[in-house]
Structure 1
């Protein structure tokens, strides 16, 4: 369904305002020199690993372990991601290499 130029501009404006607000509001709520509440510091420490863990569970939840190839490509790719991340400490490298390895395994090997 085609969208009119006015609707497109309104969508772009809404996205731009929302994006700007998500960047600006933290500076308004927590101005420089004011201590950050302990709850916010705690959330800053635990949310990233929690989200990554949830994504891993979501990605692996439908892995067929009862049928061939029994989740072997997924296991190899996950191990590669873990090893690369522990070795290099680079999220982009470990996730990117794990994705490429997994795609290679499911398309060419298994």
Structure 2
């Protein structure tokens, strides 16, 4: 087992965090206070839905055909995420609760 020093652990956490923050700040630095083009506005409005659709397709592409129990667990979790998102309009909350709900179904039922 490799032993890491406190400095190495700090750098392993700090450097990716710094890169992430810089990448998130990049659009604000690039666009500043000037008007945002219609293309960027359209992408900002449509990309979140497109990404969620891709995630749903990826999640459901390998539904087992033989096990009714597993299919019901997947469908229940998808319905939970969709319903919660329609009610609360919070993506992080919807995905988090849906993941926990699915894990509870898989391990307790």
TM range (shorter): 0.7 to 0.9
Q: 1:36 — aligned with what?
A: 36
Runs in 1 of length 4+ with deviation above 4 angstroms?
Answer: 1-14
Do structure 1's residue 45 and structure 2's residue 45 form an aligned pair?
yes
RMSD: 2.6
Q: 2:26 — aligned with what?
A: 25
User: How many equivalent residue pairs?
Assistant: 108
The Cα offsets for residues 63-87 of structure 1, whole Å up to 9 and x where unpaired, read as 2033342511000111112222222
State the TM-score, normalized to the length of structure 1. 0.72
Q: 1:104 — aligned with what?
A: 104
Q: 2:63 — aligned with what?
A: 63
Q: 2: CA distance between counterparts of 1:16 and 1:98?
A: 26
SS in 2 for 1:69: helix
The CA deviation at 1:45 is 0.6
The CA deviation at 1:16 is 5.3
**Can you give the 5+ residue segments of structure 1 that lack an aligned partner in the other structure?**
none
The CA deviation at 1:24 is 3.5
Which has the greater radius of gyration? 1
Q: 2: CA distance between counterparts of 1:12 and 1:101?
A: 30
**Can you give the 5+ residue segments of structure 2 that lack an aligned partner in the other structure?**
none
